[in-house]
């Protein structure tokens, strides 16, 4: 029976999270917050069957994403995937863990390509809290400069601060001219969508830095069980030296997350973003690939 796809919606949040929890690896793309937040931009849809939830994007063209569920429990995972995808269709954002389970993926009319810009960056949680040794000397120096220079307050993001975050995001986009850059405009729409649904999204947490009572930075993340803190968005106002180092460190340090890893998502092949992410000394990546049938 053909898959019946519907738009990603809030009503399916809890059900989807059950499939994601069973998955052997949890890339940032597949968190519900990202699926729902970016859904209008990618035209994301999903279809649930007994043991998998299938995901596809319809913009700018139809592409499937990897299905979520317990891949290990499905002996015929490759034939299942192959049967669902028509000839000439691609499956993107395929985690290396799933690719390794598809021994027949290469050949037989199937092309596999690396997509470096979509790799998730993984960091040791303790590194981002403590900024230890010479590897993090510059980061710790900027953090300390921020603490000494500004009269600041760190606060967990709550309903009252969400409106301030929305206002700050508007100002940030005016400064960066988001409307002139497609990826920034799309991100701005995703951030606004997530913030406006703050009370309806499960496991979402955030933090804010206020200087002289004004919000100057915020971050939004969630705990992906069992042991990873996923950072979705992080923005700082211009003109505050060390603002990003401060909000980064304080969000991870403000409470006991009981996490081993921090996932700070992809660099999208942006050289500046890649340099910034590498400067925090990642300990690994969640690698992803594209499969073309």
pLDDT tens digits in sequence order for the chain, 293 residues long:
678 999 999 999 999 999 999 999 999 999 999 999 999 999 999 999 989 999 999 999 999 999 999 999 988 888 888 887 777 788 999 999 999 887 655 556 778 899 999 999 999 999 999 999 999 999 999 999 999 999 999 999 998 999 999 999 999 999 999 999 999 999 999 999 999 999 999 999 999 999 999 999 999 999 997 899 999 999 999 999 999 999 999 999 998 889 999 999 999 999 999 999 999 999 999 999 998 87
* pLDDT in the model for residue 111: 85
Q: How many C-beta neighbours within 10 Å does residue 284 have?
A: 12
Residues in CB range of 267: below 8 A, 6 or more apart:
117, 119, 121, 273, 274, 277
**Strand pairing report for 261-263 and 152-156:** unpaired
Q: Dihedral (C-alpha) 268, 242, 33, 31: value to the nearest 10 degrees?
A: 60
Tokens of 204: 């979402």
CB burial of 200-223 (b: ≥16 within 10 Å; e: otherwise) equals ebeebbbbbbbbeeebbbbbbbbe
* pLDDT in the model for residue 140: 97
pTM (2 d.p.): 0.95
Burial of residue 249 (number of CB atoms within 10 Å: 0-12, 13-18, 19+) = buried
Angle in degrees, 0-180, between the axes of helices 137-149 and 243-253, rounded to the nearest 10? 100
Residues of the chain with CATH 3.40.630.30: 6-118, 120-265
* pLDDT in the model for residue 75: 80
The domain over range 120-265 is classified in CATH as 3.40.630.30: yes
* pLDDT in the model for residue 103: 67
CB burial of 13-32 (b: ≥16 within 10 Å; e: otherwise) equals beebbebbeebeebbbbbbb
* pLDDT in the model for residue 292: 86
Tokens of 245: 């180092």
The HSE-up count of residue 236 (CA atoms within 13 Å, CB side) is 14
Our CA angle for 10, 15, 20, nearest 5°, is: 105
Q: How far apart are CA 65 and CA 95, in angstroms?
A: 10
* pLDDT in the model for residue 79: 81
Element (H, E) at 5: none
DSSP, collapsed to helix, strand or coil, labels residue 85 as coil
**The CATH fold of domain 6-118:** Aminopeptidase (3.40.630)
* pLDDT in the model for residue 108: 64
Q: How far apart are CA 217 and CA 123, in angstroms?
A: 21
* pLDDT in the model for residue 264: 98
What is the Cα Rg of the chain in Å? 20
């Amino acid at each position: 029976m053909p898959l019946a796809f519907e738009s990603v919606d809030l009503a399916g949040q809890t059900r989807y999270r059950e499939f994601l929890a069973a998955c052997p690896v949890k890339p940032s793309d597949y968190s519900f917050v990202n699926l729902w937040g970016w859904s209008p931009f990618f035209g994301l849809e999903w279809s649930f069957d007994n043991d998998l939830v299938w995901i596809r994007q319809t913009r700018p063209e139809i592409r499937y994403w990897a299905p979520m569920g317990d891949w290990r429990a499905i002996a015929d995972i490759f034939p299942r995937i192959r049967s669902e995808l028509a000839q000439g269709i691609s499956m993107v954002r395929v985690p290396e863990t799933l690719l390794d389970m598809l021994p027949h993926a290469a050949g037989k009319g199937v092309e596999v390509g690396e997509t470096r810009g979509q790799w998730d960056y993984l960091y040791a949680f303790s590194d981002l809290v403590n900024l230890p040794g010479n590897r993090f000397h510059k980061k710790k120096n900027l953090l300390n400069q921020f603490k000494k220079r500004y009269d600041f307050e760190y606060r967990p993001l709550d309903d009252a601060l969400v409106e301030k975050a929305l206002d700050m995001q508007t100002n940030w986009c005016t400064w960066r001219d988001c409307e002139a850059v497609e990826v920034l405009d799309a991100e701005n729409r995703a951030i606004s969508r997530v913030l406006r649904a703050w009370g309806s999204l499960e496991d979402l947490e955030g933090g804010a830095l206020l200087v002289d009572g004004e919000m100057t930075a915020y971050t939004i993340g969630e705990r992906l069980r069992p042991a990873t803190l996923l950072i979705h968005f992080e923005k700082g106002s211009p003109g505050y030296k060390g603002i990003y180092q401060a909000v980064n460190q304080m969000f991870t340090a403000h409470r006991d997350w009981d996490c081993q890893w921090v996932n700070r998502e992809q660099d999208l092949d942006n050289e500046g973003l890649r340099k910034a992410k590498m400067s925090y000394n990642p300990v690994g990546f969640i690698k992803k690939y594209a499969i073309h049938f």
